[in-house]
Amino acid sequence: MNYTIFSPADFKKHISTVETTTSFFHTPAGILRTESTSVGMYRATFIDEKIHETQLSQLDDLTALSFILVGTPFQIKVWQELTTMNVKTMHYQALAEKIGHSHSYRAVAQALARNKIAYFIPCHRIVQKNGALGGYRWGINRKKMLLESMI
Protein backbone atom coordinates (compact mmCIF):
# COMPACT_ATOMS: atom_id res chain seq x y z
CA MET A 1 0.00 0.00 0.00
CA ASN A 2 1.19 3.49 -0.80
CA TYR A 3 0.59 6.38 1.58
CA THR A 4 0.70 10.11 0.94
CA ILE A 5 0.76 12.14 4.14
CA PHE A 6 -0.93 15.53 4.49
CA SER A 7 -1.34 17.82 7.45
CA PRO A 8 -4.99 18.78 7.91
CA ALA A 9 -4.29 22.28 6.50
CA ASP A 10 -2.44 20.96 3.45
CA PHE A 11 -5.17 18.42 2.75
CA LYS A 12 -7.80 21.15 2.88
CA LYS A 13 -5.87 22.98 0.14
CA HIS A 14 -5.44 19.77 -1.88
CA ILE A 15 -9.08 18.71 -1.71
CA SER A 16 -10.28 22.15 -2.82
CA THR A 17 -8.28 21.92 -6.07
CA VAL A 18 -8.95 18.37 -7.29
CA GLU A 19 -11.81 16.19 -8.44
CA THR A 20 -13.03 13.52 -6.04
CA THR A 21 -14.49 10.10 -6.80
CA THR A 22 -16.96 8.12 -4.72
CA SER A 23 -17.08 4.31 -4.99
CA PHE A 24 -18.97 1.54 -3.23
CA PHE A 25 -17.54 -1.89 -2.35
CA HIS A 26 -19.06 -5.05 -0.94
CA THR A 27 -17.05 -6.34 2.05
CA PRO A 28 -17.65 -9.12 4.59
CA ALA A 29 -18.75 -6.41 7.04
CA GLY A 30 -21.14 -4.58 4.71
CA ILE A 31 -21.12 -1.88 2.05
CA LEU A 32 -18.07 0.39 2.14
CA ARG A 33 -18.23 3.88 0.62
CA THR A 34 -14.86 5.33 -0.37
CA GLU A 35 -13.79 8.80 -1.45
CA SER A 36 -10.62 9.37 -3.46
CA THR A 37 -8.62 11.91 -5.42
CA SER A 38 -6.01 11.13 -8.07
CA VAL A 39 -3.48 10.91 -5.21
CA GLY A 40 -5.35 8.22 -3.27
CA MET A 41 -8.24 7.23 -1.04
CA TYR A 42 -8.88 9.57 1.89
CA ARG A 43 -12.11 8.27 3.41
CA ALA A 44 -13.79 4.87 3.80
CA THR A 45 -17.03 4.53 5.74
CA PHE A 46 -19.55 1.74 6.15
CA ILE A 47 -23.06 2.59 5.07
CA ASP A 48 -26.30 0.92 6.01
CA GLU A 49 -28.37 2.22 3.13
CA LYS A 50 -29.30 0.13 0.13
CA ILE A 51 -27.54 0.90 -3.12
CA HIS A 52 -28.08 -0.44 -6.60
CA GLU A 53 -26.02 -3.57 -7.33
CA THR A 54 -24.46 -1.92 -10.41
CA GLN A 55 -22.80 0.67 -8.14
CA LEU A 56 -20.76 -2.00 -6.33
CA SER A 57 -17.14 -2.75 -7.22
CA GLN A 58 -14.74 -5.44 -6.06
CA LEU A 59 -11.74 -4.87 -3.79
CA ASP A 60 -9.32 -7.25 -5.46
CA ASP A 61 -5.71 -6.19 -4.86
CA LEU A 62 -5.44 -4.15 -1.67
CA THR A 63 -1.68 -3.79 -2.09
CA ALA A 64 -2.22 -1.76 -5.27
CA LEU A 65 -4.31 0.88 -3.51
CA SER A 66 -2.97 4.32 -2.64
CA PHE A 67 -4.12 6.18 0.45
CA ILE A 68 -4.00 9.70 1.79
CA LEU A 69 -3.32 9.97 5.52
CA VAL A 70 -4.49 13.26 6.98
CA GLY A 71 -3.47 13.85 10.56
CA THR A 72 -0.97 15.01 13.10
CA PRO A 73 2.45 13.34 13.29
CA PHE A 74 1.27 11.37 16.35
CA GLN A 75 -1.89 10.14 14.57
CA ILE A 76 0.13 9.14 11.50
CA LYS A 77 2.52 7.17 13.72
CA VAL A 78 -0.41 5.31 15.33
CA TRP A 79 -2.02 4.52 11.97
CA GLN A 80 1.22 3.37 10.37
CA GLU A 81 1.89 1.05 13.31
CA LEU A 82 -1.55 -0.54 12.80
CA THR A 83 -0.60 -1.54 9.27
CA THR A 84 2.42 -3.51 10.52
CA MET A 85 0.79 -5.42 13.40
CA ASN A 86 1.83 -9.06 13.41
CA VAL A 87 -0.79 -10.15 15.94
CA LYS A 88 -4.57 -10.45 15.53
CA THR A 89 -5.40 -7.95 18.28
CA MET A 90 -3.57 -5.61 20.61
CA HIS A 91 -4.73 -3.39 23.46
CA TYR A 92 -4.48 0.40 23.50
CA GLN A 93 -1.59 0.60 25.99
CA ALA A 94 0.46 -1.99 24.07
CA LEU A 95 0.03 0.06 20.91
CA ALA A 96 1.08 3.20 22.78
CA GLU A 97 4.18 1.38 24.02
CA LYS A 98 5.04 0.16 20.50
CA ILE A 99 5.14 3.73 19.22
CA GLY A 100 7.21 4.94 22.16
CA HIS A 101 4.45 6.74 24.08
CA SER A 102 3.61 4.26 26.83
CA HIS A 103 1.44 6.66 28.84
CA SER A 104 -0.51 7.97 25.85
CA TYR A 105 -3.07 5.20 25.45
CA ARG A 106 -5.96 7.71 25.57
CA ALA A 107 -4.32 9.70 22.78
CA VAL A 108 -3.95 6.44 20.85
CA ALA A 109 -7.70 5.85 21.27
CA GLN A 110 -8.40 9.36 19.98
CA ALA A 111 -6.14 8.77 16.97
CA LEU A 112 -8.03 5.57 16.20
CA ALA A 113 -11.33 7.45 16.36
CA ARG A 114 -10.03 9.94 13.79
CA ASN A 115 -8.90 7.26 11.33
CA LYS A 116 -10.81 8.09 8.12
CA ILE A 117 -9.85 4.86 6.33
CA ALA A 118 -10.45 2.48 9.21
CA TYR A 119 -11.28 -0.54 7.04
CA PHE A 120 -7.78 -0.38 5.54
CA ILE A 121 -5.91 0.84 8.62
CA PRO A 122 -7.40 -1.74 10.96
CA CYS A 123 -8.31 0.08 14.15
CA HIS A 124 -10.89 -2.69 14.76
CA ARG A 125 -7.93 -4.86 15.85
CA ILE A 126 -7.37 -2.75 18.99
CA VAL A 127 -9.24 -4.04 22.03
CA GLN A 128 -9.42 -3.30 25.74
CA LYS A 129 -6.68 -4.63 28.02
CA ASN A 130 -9.09 -7.22 29.49
CA GLY A 131 -9.83 -8.56 25.99
CA ALA A 132 -13.26 -6.94 25.65
CA LEU A 133 -13.90 -5.51 22.21
CA GLY A 134 -14.57 -1.97 23.40
CA GLY A 135 -16.19 0.51 21.06
CA TYR A 136 -16.16 0.88 17.30
CA ARG A 137 -17.48 3.67 15.11
CA TRP A 138 -19.73 1.27 13.18
CA GLY A 139 -20.79 -0.89 16.12
CA ILE A 140 -19.55 -3.94 17.98
CA ASN A 141 -21.25 -6.41 15.61
CA ARG A 142 -19.34 -5.01 12.64
CA LYS A 143 -16.10 -5.05 14.67
CA LYS A 144 -16.73 -8.75 15.44
CA MET A 145 -17.32 -9.47 11.73
CA LEU A 146 -14.09 -7.71 10.78
CA LEU A 147 -12.09 -9.60 13.38
CA GLU A 148 -13.64 -12.91 12.32
CA SER A 149 -12.79 -12.26 8.68
CA MET A 150 -9.28 -11.01 9.71
CA ILE A 151 -9.40 -7.89 7.56
Q: Which residues contact 61 (CB under 8 A, 6 or more apart)?
A: none
Active-site option among 41, 95, 117, 123: 123
Please give the angle made by the CA atoms of 61, 65 and 70, to the nearest 5 degrees.
150
- Within a 10 A sphere around the Cβ of 70, how many other Cβ atoms? 23
23 is known as an active-site residue? no
d(CA 30, CA 44): 12
Contact 40, 68 (CB under 8 A): yes
Q: Which residues contact 87 (CB under 8 A, 6 or more apart)?
A: none
Catalytic site positions: 123
